Amino acid sequence: MLKVSRSNLLDRLHGRQKGRSPRYRKQDDDRHLPFIRELCEARAANGYRRITARLNRLLAANDERVNHKRVYRLMKQDGLLLPRYTGRPQERCHNGQVITLKPDLRWCSDGFEIRCWNKEVVRVAFSLDCCDRELMRYVATTGGITGEMVQDLLLESLEYRFGQSERVPHPLEWLTDNGSCYIAKETRAFASSLGFVVCTTPVRSPQSNGMAEAFVKTFKRDYVYLNDLPDAATVMARLPEWIEDYNRSHPHKGLKMKSPWEYRAELASNE
């Protein structure tokens, strides 16, 4: 005798073994597919996991939920899956962790450019919480990002999270790269006067500000590249709409496929 348990065989013989979950019904595939097609058309850059998160938001009103594997199968059958990304960027050594376990322990900032069809360039700098991924505040210009603009960004972010306060209530890291607008003496002094712990990334190490870098990639992929960019005025007028949509509805894997505002609401309800 091998003395190996075969209780599953007994359960099967006596009919005690549970089969497929009763929540799954094959006929529901035809009902879900139109919603999936509509979401894929509206969010052309979203993969199957984010489409699953958005579909579950729609189904939540009826107390329904679908598995991401089911959505993957339906999208594959309908030819809706994104092509697999095969690019491999140059690897650089990076030790440490950018993400924090609670909000308002570390904020990160970075800048990026949006090139319009008429050759104008919109430059944007933003502040992002390294826990909930909320884009708190941003500044945009057709010129260069200056130290004064970064100082305004710092103050607006402080007032957004902590109200009319002159300093942060606890030590809070301000993580940036080594751009001239960030490392200017006046900018660093202003940040320190507000109570921020100023941190900059090592030279040639963008991974050390990886959360900000990831946001730039996501924002360009899901918003900038999927919209018309005729001129700078149009782009700057659309930025508030894009940023609000990101905060309200963009699912994050690190937030269990919740958006920044959904995650913050859940944290507030648990306090």
- Return d(Cα 29, Cα 153) in angstroms, integer: 47
pLDDT tens-place string over residues 68-90: 999 999 999 888 898 876 555 55
Of 108, 92, 96, the closest CA to residue 176 belongs to: 108
Of 99, 89, 85, 31, the closest CA to residue 62 belongs to: 31
* pLDDT at 96 (0 to 100): 55
pLDDT band of residue 94 (cuts 50, 70, 90) is very low
- Give me the residues paired with residue 113 across strands: 123
The stretches of the chain forming alpha helices (DSSP H) are: 7-13, 28-42, 48-59, 68-77, 147-162, 180-183, 185-193, 210-219, 232-249, 260-270
Of 116, 136, 121, the closest CA to residue 246 belongs to: 136
* 137, pLDDT greater than 60: yes
Of 212, 172, 162, 164, the closest CA to residue 192 belongs to: 172
Q: In this predicted model, which residue has the larger pLDDT, 126 or 209? A: 126
- Which range has the worst mean pLDDT, 184-188, 208-212, 235-239, 256-260? 208-212
* 116, pLDDT greater than 90: yes
pTM confidence score: 0.79
* 9, pLDDT greater than 80: no
Q: H/E element holding 167? A: none
pLDDT band of residue 229 (cuts 50, 70, 90) is very high
* pLDDT at 147 (0 to 100): 96
Residue type at position 130: C
- Return d(Cα 103, Cα 80) in angstroms, integer: 36
* pLDDT at 30 (0 to 100): 86
- Which range has the worst mean pLDDT, 19-23, 143-147, 185-189, 242-246? 19-23
Calculate the average pLDDT of the chain: 88
